[in-house]
Amino acid sequence: MNSKLRKAIEIEVIYDLLDELDYYQLLGLERDADPAEVEPAFRAQSRILHPDRLARLGDAQLTRQATAIYRTVNEAYRCLKEPESRVQYDQELAQGQIRISDSGRSDAKAAGEASADPEKAARTEKGGKYWRLALQQWRDEDYQGCVMNIQFALNFEGDNEVFTEWLDKAQKAATDKAKTKEKNPYKLRFF
At 43-98, the pLDDT tens digits run 898 888 777 777 776 778 888 888 888 888 888 898 888 888 888 888 888 888 77
Which of 17-21, 98-102, 141-145, 182-186 is the most confident on average?
A: 141-145
CA–CA distance, 33 with 129 (Å, rounded to integer)? 33
Which of 61-65, 99-103, 133-137, 184-188 is the most confident on average?
A: 133-137
Backbone phi and psi for residue 19, each to the nearest 5 degrees, phi listed first? -75, -10
Fold for 3-114, please state it: Helix Hairpins (1.10.287)
Which tops the pLDDT comparison, 178 or 167?
A: 167
Mean pLDDT of 33-41: 89
Note the pLDDT of residue 115: 41
Domain extents for the chain? 3-114, 118-178
Overall residue count recorded for the chain in this entry: 191
**Among residues 81, 84, 131, which one has the least CA distance to residue 105?**
84
Confidence of residue 147 (pLDDT cuts 50, 70, 90): very high
**CB atoms inside a 10 Å sphere around CB 52:** 10
pLDDT tens-digit series, residues 94-121: 888 777 655 555 554 544 443 456 777 8
Taking each helix axis from N to C terminus, what angle separates 102-114 and 83-94, rounded to the nearest 10 degrees?
A: 140
Instruction: Read off the pTM.
Output: 0.52
Q: Would the pLDDT of 5 be above 90?
A: no
Backbone phi and psi for residue 162, each to the nearest 5 degrees, phi listed first? -65, -45
How many degrees, rounded to 5, is the angle at CA 189 between CA 183 and CA 191? Answer: 130
Distances (CA, A) of 127 to 52, 117, 121, 148, 157: 36, 16, 10, 13, 6
Mean pLDDT of 5-9: 83
Q: Would the pLDDT of 40 be above 60?
A: yes
